[in-house]
Every structure is written in structure tokens, then in C-alpha cells.
Amino acid sequence: MAGGVIGWHNRRQGRKGTLWEKRFKSVLVESGQALVTMATYIDLNPVRAGLVEAPKEYRWCGYAAAVAGKKHARSGLRTAMTTWAHGEIGEGASMEKYRELLFGTGEQRNPGANGQRVKRGISKKRVEEVMAKKGKLTRWEMLRCRVRYFCDGAVMGTKDFVNGIFEHEGHRFGPKRQTGARPMRHVEAHGLTTLRDLRLKPVG
């Protein structure tokens, strides 16, 4: 699939070569809130990159596939939302709730444009202000930034989950490291932690 997407993109943009030049990274993600947070972050990648105005407009996005009625995408979304809700949730309800998580309060009415909806973004200035004051970005603001925790955090989930992984894999970190879970700095993480303590520009 990657070859087809890259070829299509290169032909459209008149370019050559790969799209991703850095080495592949993966993060072990706990089900429930961590999984849904990671999914929304990934689905918002093309929005952050300025490729589209909304995730559903990006044809290779999981949310777009679900909106288009693809059974595997809808099933996967429902499974993720069921673990997030700690109980069975219908397909329609899971789509609706996931969309709320994607957009949060991210749409506002623009009275000067016949009530047209506009997407509210987050500026670099806002991020820098929050960092300078050692404050925290809201979940919605965080998802519209590049967040290193989602690619460099190694493991993401509740404190118990991350500590459990550390108990099995702690030898990889050396003898000085005694504990596993680390808080996610500068964001309202709602109980989520990561295995790596990212100090250098965790959000940008």
C-alpha cells in the first residue's frame, strides 16, 4: 500500500523519492483511553500537515474509511471505542463519539461568513506561551500539535500498564532506572503515562 500511496503523491506533486526518511518507530499502546488517543492523533496527522481541512477528506485515514462505510474500519473503531467506554457501544454511537473526540470544540461559527464552520487551529505562539508558563495544553490542543510521546514514548498507557511493561523490560534501561511510568509533560494527559521521560520539546 505504501508504494502506491507514495507513487500517487509523487506524481501529483511532481516529486521523487520516499516520503519518510527517518527510521521506523513503534510505541506499545494500552487499550482504552491510550489507544483512542493514539488513534485520534494519527487521524489528525493530515490536518496538522495542512493536507486537508478534516480527517474524513484524507482517503488513507482510518476515520475516512469508517465514514465511507468500510466494514473493517468501522469494526476497528467500534472495538477501540468499546474499550474506551468500558462497555459495549453501538456502531453509530462509536462513530459519533469518536468524531467528538476528533474535533472537540474545534469548530466554531463564523458570523461573518454566513454561519460557515471554520476549524480552529492552535498556533505555535500558543504552544510556546503554555511551555513558558509550565502550563498544560488541553487534550484538544495537544492533538493538533506534533507530540513526541506518540512516536518516542516507547510505551503509552496508565501508570500500572507502563510499570508492568517496565518490570519485564527494565533491564534495557540500566541499573539506575528504578521506576517505569513517566508523566506526559505540558499536556492534560488524563492519567496517561509513557515509559520514556521526554524533556526536549515533547510538544511542538
pLDDT tens sequence across 76-113: 999 999 988 888 888 888 888 888 888 763 333 344 44
Residue 126 and residue 200 in one domain: yes
Segments forming the whole domain that contains residue 151: 122-204
Residue 186 and residue 126 in one domain: yes
Check residue 26 and give its pLDDT: 86
CB 94 within 8 A of CB 78: yes
Residue 178 CB coordination number (10 Å): 8
Alpha carbon separation from 59 to 52, 136, 144 (Å, rounded): 10, 32, 19
What is the Cα–Cα distance from 99 to 105, expressed in whole angstroms?
11
Per-residue pLDDT, averaged over 58-66, amounts to: 89
Q: 5 lies in a domain?
A: no
pLDDT category, 130, cuts 50, 70, 90? low
Cell of 82: 468499546
pTM (two decimals): 0.68
Q: In this model, does residue 4 exceed pLDDT 90?
A: no
What is the Cα–Cα distance from 142 to 12, expressed in whole angstroms?
31
Residue 80 and residue 42 in one domain: yes
Q: What is the mean pLDDT of the chain?
A: 79
Residue 126 and residue 116 in one domain: no
Per-residue pLDDT, averaged over 177-197, amounts to: 86
